[in-house]
Amino acid sequence: AARTRDHLRSPIICILGHVDTGKTKILDRIRRTNVQDAEAGGITQQIGATYFPIEAVKKEATKIEEGKKLLYNVPSLLIIDTPGHESFTNLRSRGSSLCDIAILVVDIMHGLEPQTRESIDLLKMRKTPFIVALNKIDRMYDWKAQPHNCPTRASLEKQPSHVREEFFRRVKETKLQLAEIGFNTELYWENKDVRKTVSLVPTSAITGEGMPDLLMLLMALPQRLLTERLMFTDVLEATVLEVKVIEGLGTTIDIVLTGGTIHEGDTIMVVGLDGPIVTTIRALLTPHPMKEMRVKGQYLHHKQIKAAQGIKISADGLEKAVAGTQLMVVEDANDEEEMEYVREEVMKDFQTILTSVDRSGLGVYVQASTLGSLEALLEYLRSEKIPVAGINIGPVHKRDVTKASTMLERRKEYATILAFDVPVEKEARELAESEGVQIFTADIIYHLFDQFTAYMERVKK
Ligand code: GDP
Ligand code: MG
């Protein structure tokens, strides 16, 4: 079928920002609004994502004038919400970000925080358009909360003048902070050019104020910027979100299908640490819809699923699959030419990564949870002119320490493992201590950089 403006897929949205700014709460709030509303209903929890049908979004968004002028021409909003994965921008589909748009949450009482900056860097790197939710407006002194998911401006009008003053002062401060790192921002109702200026939307996940505004913007932004990108395609596009061991199923992969249709029995290829993995889909699984949550047997089985959706795939041989990479379907596993093509395609991103590894084998060891975060780390090290001897994705094992320890004789300060968002096995930690290998761990990239930079300063002296 031809790609047309009449057939768009759901935009994929991710939420990011500093810890405790209210990311989870905002999601809960939008979810609950609609769940309470049986008519709009149909919100479904997917694997690693929440699916908000367009009718539910429309109902909220049209509470605002701007929302009445929009087209509601996508099937839903698909919000990525895999717990623990705060850096979704790192997940890619065909080289660009998996997320079509992002919500960057900032606590209006705190302004910019370290992880806000990190999130912005990731968004910049992937060129992902985003809006900023200035959350927790209800925490301003004397705020008079307005009920029923009140749109922000209507609520502001009801506030006493000293509250409005505080509000505009805080908005101004945040705008200044964002300007300092190169972003022009405006309260969305004053934003004349969404291509050049980032919209700010004041919200409260507790009172629900600003939720209609947020949903309206999530509809408006893709319409202005992304229609081309959202045209439905028959070409299968899927990204591996997570690799997980599930009792009774073995190692499974959670994916987001962003294009095409996937079937049970399809032969798929995914990036593996030791090379491409070819396997056959044993089961295509999704959670039960809300009301069937209590049903035993955890997952619903499907014969086929169309984009965009979050799906769990059960198949053999997925143990070494790499999160944050693309999944491809092989039409004919006996066609060696096709196999070779798919193999190259699927491993492309990984190959690029491998080229940052120093040929002479001199350098530090880098380990991360996803390909995207690994890439961000490598970029940083490149800018600091620190060579990389080896990379890995997943937990730090003893053998990683052994590899890093070979550097002890060549360049002692490089006998180092930078481990981002991955666990370090007990034996690995013990071995590192006895051998003198440094392991730096953090789940915020900047913390890792800071630790490592401080260490390099120390050893240089
Ligand atoms: P996350 O770490 O960004 O996912 O933050 P959470 O959603 O877990 O929220 C962190 C804390 O802030 C929780 O105690 C929330 O109840 C609280 N919180 C979140 N949003 C708001 C808000 O809009 N107003 C107020 N007063 N508290 C909020
Ligand atoms: Mg959270």
> Is the distance from CB of 147 to CB of 211 less than 8 angstroms?
no
Please tell me the predicted confidence (pLDDT) of residue 379.
Answer: 80
Is the predicted pLDDT of residue 35 greater than 80, yes or no?
A: no
pLDDT band at 359 (very low <50, low <70, confident <90, very high): confident
Q: Which ligand is nearest to the CA of 84?
A: 2
Nearest atom within ligand 1 for CA of residue 205: 23
Q: Which range has the worst mean pLDDT, 245-259, 355-369, 413-427?
A: 355-369
Residue 232: alpha-carbon gap to chain centroid: 21
Is the predicted pLDDT of residue 118 greater than 90, yes or no?
A: no
Is the predicted pLDDT of residue 38 greater than 90, yes or no?
A: no
Is the predicted pLDDT of residue 364 greater than 90, yes or no?
A: yes
Atom 6, ligand 1: which residue's CA is nearest? Answer: 22
Q: CB atoms < 10 A from the CB of 233, how many?
A: 16
pLDDT band at 6 (very low <50, low <70, confident <90, very high): confident
Higher pLDDT, 185 or 92: 185
Average pLDDT score over residue span 108-119: 89
Highest mean pLDDT among 68-72, 85-89, 223-227, 370-374: 68-72
Average pLDDT score over residue span 419-442: 94
pLDDT band at 439 (very low <50, low <70, confident <90, very high): very high
Higher pLDDT, 108 or 148: 108
Atom 10, ligand 1: which residue's CA is nearest? Answer: 20
Q: Which range has the worst mean pLDDT, 18-32, 65-79, 84-98, 325-339?
A: 84-98
Nearest atom within ligand 1 for CA of residue 105: 3
Quote the CA–CA distance of 11 and 228 in Å, as a whole number.
11
Query: What's the gap in Å between 125 CA and the centre of ligand 2?
Result: 23
* pLDDT tens track for 154-173: 999 999 999 999 999 999 99
pLDDT band at 39 (very low <50, low <70, confident <90, very high): very low
Is the predicted pLDDT of residue 231 greater than 50, yes or no?
A: yes
Structure tokens at 121: 């860097």
Atom 18, ligand 1: which residue's CA is nearest? Answer: 22
Please tell me the predicted confidence (pLDDT) of residue 297.
Answer: 65
Atom 17, ligand 1: which residue's CA is nearest? Answer: 22
Nearest atom within ligand 1 for CA of residue 27: 7
* pLDDT tens track for 287-333: 876 544 445 567 889 999 988 889 999 999 999 898 878 899 999 99
* pLDDT tens track for 379-400: 888 888 889 999 988 889 999 9
Q: Which range has the worst mean pLDDT, 44-53, 143-152, 156-165, 435-444?
A: 44-53
Nearest to 106, CA basis, from 14, 187, 200, 40: 200
Query: What's the gap in Å between 27 CA and the centre of ligand 2?
Result: 9
Please tell me the predicted confidence (pLDDT) of residue 293.
Answer: 45
- The C-alpha torsion from 212 through 217 and 219 to 223, rounded to 10°, is 160
Quote the CA–CA distance of 225 and 196 in Å, as a whole number.
11
Burial 193-202 (b: 16+ CB within 10 A, else e): ebeeebbbbb
Q: How far apart are the first and last CA of the chain?
A: 64
pLDDT band at 40 (very low <50, low <70, confident <90, very high): very low
Structure tokens at 22: 């209210």
Nearest atom within ligand 1 for CA of residue 204: 23
Query: What's the gap in Å between 124 CA and the centre of ligand 2?
Result: 22
Highest mean pLDDT among 52-61, 260-269, 319-328, 384-393: 260-269
Give the count of alpha carbons within 13 A of 268, CB side only. 32
Backbone angles phi, psi at 60, to 5 degrees: -75, -50
Q: Which ligand is nearest to the CA of 83?
A: 2
- ipTM higher than threshold 0.90: yes
Nearest atom within ligand 1 for CA of residue 28: 7
User: Which residues form ligand 1's pocket by a CB distance below 6 Å?
Assistant: 19-25, 135-136, 138-139, 204-206
pTM tops 0.90, yes or no: no
Highest mean pLDDT among 17-21, 41-45, 166-170, 326-330: 166-170
Is the predicted pLDDT of residue 84 greater than 70, yes or no?
A: no
* pLDDT tens track for 194-211: 999 999 999 999 999 999
Sign of CA dihedral 105, 108, 113, 117: positive
Q: In a mutational test of the pocket of ligand 1, which residue from 25, 28, 85, 144 has the highest number of ligand atoms less than 8 Å from its CB? A: 25
How high does pLDDT run on average in the chain?
A: 87
Longest dimension (CA), the chain: 73
Query: What's the gap in Å between 26 CA and the centre of ligand 1?
Result: 8
Q: In a mutational test of the pocket of ligand 1, which residue from 14, 19, 20 has the highest number of ligand atoms less than 8 Å from its CB? A: 20
Total residues found in the chain within this entry? 461
Structure tokens at 147: 């009920």
Please tell me the predicted confidence (pLDDT) of residue 309.
Answer: 87
Please tell me the predicted confidence (pLDDT) of residue 226.
Answer: 83
Query: What's the gap in Å between 433 CA and the centre of ligand 2?
Result: 33
Atom 2, ligand 1: which residue's CA is nearest? Answer: 20
pLDDT band at 217 (very low <50, low <70, confident <90, very high): very high
Higher pLDDT, 410 or 88: 410
Sign of CA dihedral 259, 263, 264, 266: negative
Share of the chain above pLDDT 70, in %: 91
Quote the CA–CA distance of 27 and 33 in Å, as a whole number.
10
Nearest atom within ligand 1 for CA of residue 136: 23
Please tell me the predicted confidence (pLDDT) of residue 174.
Answer: 97
Q: Which ligand is nearest to the CA of 16?
A: 1
